[in-house]
Structure 1
Amino acid sequence: MKRNSFLLYTDSMDIISELSDAQAGKLLRAMVLYQKHLDDPTNMEYEEFVSDSIVKIAFSPVKNQFDRDYEKYKDVCSKRANAGRKGGLSKSLRVSAIKAEPLSPVKTLIDIEKELMSDELWKEQMCRQSGIGAVNFMKIIQEQIKKFFEYISATGSEKTVLTKDDAKRRFFWWWTNTGVDAYNKCRDNGKQRTTDKNSVKSKPDIQSRKSDEERYTGSF
């Protein structure tokens, strides 16, 4: 079942802009070597190119997507072989028999959100990759995960988040393209309001203030 091509998804490739040229080259080499020996579960040849922790993080969602695509490919090959053995089927029936069935979500978004919330290792990795500092991002990550799933629901993209790995990949894309901009805008507005407030100066009293006792002219 050797293949002479494989798919790369654009949202998986967005992370390349965050890598150096050397890291991007290692990521590409790891992809090619992993695909070249995808049918060999003992293949470790690609691992020397993901020794860099950043490259390894970038490669992880791509590797998972490769595995899912390969399972679909094997399923198609199996169906094609079965159709050939049966014989006598028309071309339209054979195409129908091997057509990949659409994926259906086996978990709700709430289930996947809970899994993401409890994945401490991934949260630590995201904090380091956030671009706003690990400490700052750790304070808001729970809130940002909720906003991400609200975005997925609002845009009708539930079928793009069928597993926790899908959620990780989509969250990274959402944060780097939408979330971080919204965070910086909110932070800058907060700083502006503080600056404006501090710049207000109180006017000096025209008349000196006197105590009630000094202003009182009557007798006790």
Structure 2
Amino acid sequence: MSRRTGRPSYLVPPPTPRPRQRRIALAGGVVALMLVAGLVGGWIGHAVSQPSQFDQRVAEIRQADARRDVQQIIELTEVARKTREQLLPILRGIESDAAAGRAPDGTRARQWQQTMRQLTEQFAHPPSGSTATNVARGGLKSAVEQAAVAVDAAALAAGSPAAARTDLMALVRRQASLAATTWSVAAAQLDQINVDAGQGHQHVYLETDQAEGALAPDGAPEGSGR
């Protein structure tokens, strides 16, 4: 009898895998899925943990603003020191003349006015800074402007009749006292922003007794508190 030919291989159904083979295939699939999930999760975690370009730009702007503010504080403190050197003798002169019931002579009053114009001009175009720095700068500016008014009034008293000079100089003295008090508030703010900026205590107060209610230095050593 002739041998019967078998069915073509593509018509022969594949053999049914045994239970163990099924378990191995299933386990392999699970492991593969776990690996893929791990890789995807790791990539997502890495992407989330990295700052976006927007966040990086915001951080760069903040760092630039911080550096700018520190530089402005240093420069403002230097301006305040130089201003104090020129302002203090004028305020003391007003105090001395008013206490003696006299007005300054015309030449002296004009010299004071010239100095005050220079001191006022340096605060005419302030740069934009942080709120705390702007407050300190604004306080110093206001104090200088008030002192300039006191000097103008003193010059007016110098050209007035002798009978009116005492009363006029009493008003000049009050205006000068307000200027010194305003300066003390600005000086306290300037001291604080220097500490906050890492420059330590910087005391730029006016050593005058005419300012009633003026703030005084905190007693901390100069440059401490960095």
Same fold (TM over 0.5): no
In our comparison, the structure showing a higher alpha carbon Rg is 2
